[in-house]
């Protein structure tokens, strides 16, 4: 899996469902120079851990929006599957009410570019032989924080059974924006409202002495 931190986020154009409507040629470039982006992958529609995460991101959407941060989800399902899942009520295991974009990575290229594709495509061993795959070609639970310049500043990848902390995603947005605004770094367990630390020997000593 590639380390994308500090590098431009891979660019793509794909179909997506946005607030219940199918959108063609959706791209994260629409946010360049305008918003930070939390771009997260989930394995499959119509599953179990996934709806808990999608609803949790929806519930926290006002928190992200207040930080001028867009939330975008992606899985290897089709846009038709995304749309169908959006029609199913929450108490039936669906994601009705989710309004942020759901990208359809149908050909697996986005998951591959971000390094979160589980399983491997095995090339043919001789001309005429078929491609094969080892494991399910679905996405791990990857999460990427992308700044307004399109640079990845944070990435997290969980195995399929392990749901993520939306509070931690918000904390990372706060940390990045604090650094961008003040030029100070964020020490361990930093959270919004706490003091930062100057990236100097004196700054470290002052922080440690006061903690």
Q: Can you name the residues that pair with 38 across neighbouring β-strands? A: 71, 145
Looking at 4, 17, 37, 50, which residue is catalytic? Answer: 50
Q: How far apart are CA 42 and CA 9, in angstroms?
A: 18
Answer yes or no: 50 catalytic.
yes
The phi and psi torsions of 59 (rounded to 5 degrees) equal: -65, -30
Q: Indicate the DSSP class of residue 193.
A: T
CA quadruple 147, 37, 27, 122: dihedral, nearest 10: 90
Number of other residues whose CB lies within 10 A of the CB of residue 73: 23
The alpha carbons of the chain give a radius of gyration, in whole angstroms, of: 19
Q: Taking the mean position of all CA atoms in its chain, how far away is CA 129?
A: 36
Please give the helix or strand (H or E) that residue 56 lies within, else none. Answer: helix 49-59
Active site residues: 50
């Amino acid at each position: 899996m590639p380390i994308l931190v500090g590098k431009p986020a891979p660019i793509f154009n794909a179909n997506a469902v946005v607030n219940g409507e199918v959108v063609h040629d959706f791209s994260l470039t629409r946010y360049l120079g305008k918003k930070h982006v939390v771009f997260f992958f989930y394995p499959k529609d119509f599953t179990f851990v996934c709806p808990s995460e999608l609803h949790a991101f929806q519930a926290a959407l006002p928190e992200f929006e207040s930080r001028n941060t867009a939330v975008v989800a992606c899985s290897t399902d089709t846009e038709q599957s995304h749309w169908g899942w959006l029609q199913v009520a929450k108490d039936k295991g669906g994601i009705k009410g989710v309004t942020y974009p759901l990208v359809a990575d149908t050909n697996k290229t986005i998951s591959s570019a971000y390094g979160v594709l589980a399983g491997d495509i095995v090339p043919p061993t001789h001309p005429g032989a078929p491609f094969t795959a080892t494991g399910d070609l679905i996405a791990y639970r990857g999460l990427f924080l992308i700044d307004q310049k399109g640079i990845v500043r944070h990435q997290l990848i969980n195995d399929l059974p392990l749901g993520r902390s939306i509070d931690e995603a918000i904390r990372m947005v706060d940390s990045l924006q604090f650094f961008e605004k003040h030029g100070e770094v964020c020490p361990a367990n930093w959270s919004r409202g706490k003091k930062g630390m100057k990236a100097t020997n004196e700054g470290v000593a002052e922080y440690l002495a006061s903690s």
